[in-house]
């Protein structure tokens, strides 16, 4: 069993880690909003538990045990998000902070039963894939809206930015998972877009387009 603090660091490293590359102490400190010295102490603790490999002055990466642990944390977080939206009528901009608390519940049986109760969902309310109990993810073919050109179209499959402000912006314009998007224009000057949704024609910035995933259909 791992502490809440240990699990938060494991998840942070997991999201920062690219393949087998080392994640720097400063990167982890930035992600955790803490001092590098505190990160070093935790990395040593995780290394002692064989959850991470720590190389002084170079960085850290998760071991297989650490990756397995991270997958289970992610699984719990995303299943709780589904539960909160589907069963308790939370909106998709409300669930992240609550799921951050619930993801540390240790009962494997509870999470397995939750998964079964929800019908084994494969995506959370933001379109992110949910790993199964063995840590396997369903492969998702998707592309950022910002990569599309005039005439391209597709269905929204997920978002990158899950902040409350961004999700409320999408709600304001009736944009959600499953919404159909067609690119009408792309401005060369600033990379902004004119898109047609299910309900309206809308001008969006490149920053917004960067944070929307679609199942593209050229």
Strands (E), the chain: 52-55, 59-62, 143-144, 153-159, 180-186, 193-196, 201-204, 212-217
**Percentage of the chain modeled with pLDDT above 70:** 99
Q: Please give the pLDDT value at position 110.
A: 97
Structure-token match 């917004």, residue found: 208
pLDDT tens for residues 129-155?
999 999 998 887 899 999 999 999 999
| pLDDT above 70 (res 33) | yes
Domains of the chain with bracketed CATH:
4-62 (1.10.10.10), 71-139 (1.10.10.10), 143-217 (2.30.30.90)
């Amino acid at each position: 069993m791992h502490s809440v603090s240990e699990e938060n660091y494991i998840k942070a490293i997991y999201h920062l880690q690219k393949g087998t590359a080392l994640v720097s102490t400063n990167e982890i400190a930035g992600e955790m909003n803490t001092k590098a010295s505190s990160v070093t102490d935790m990395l040593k603790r995780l290394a002692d538990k064989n959850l991470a490999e720590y190389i002084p002055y170079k960085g850290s990466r998760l071991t297989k045990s650490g990756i397995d642990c991270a997958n289970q944390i992610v699984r719990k977080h995303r299943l709780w998000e589904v539960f909160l939206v589907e069963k308790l009528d939370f909106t998709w901009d409300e669930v992240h902070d609550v799921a951050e608390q619930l993801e540390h519940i240790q009962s494997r049986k509870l999470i397995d039963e939750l998964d079964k109760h929800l019908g084994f969902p494969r995506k959370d309310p933001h379109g992110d894939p949910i790993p199964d109990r063995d840590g396997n993810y369903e492969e998702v073919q998707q592309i950022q809206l910002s990569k599309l050109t005039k005439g391209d179209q597709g269905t929204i499959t997920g978002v990158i930015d899950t902040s409350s402000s961004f999700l409320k912006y999408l709600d304001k314009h009736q944009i959600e998972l499953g919404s159909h998007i067609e690119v009408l224009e792309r401005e060369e000057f600033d990379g902004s877009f004119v898109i047609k949704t299910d309900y309206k024609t809308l001008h969006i910035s490149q920053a917004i387009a960067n944070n929307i995933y679609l199942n593209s259909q050229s």
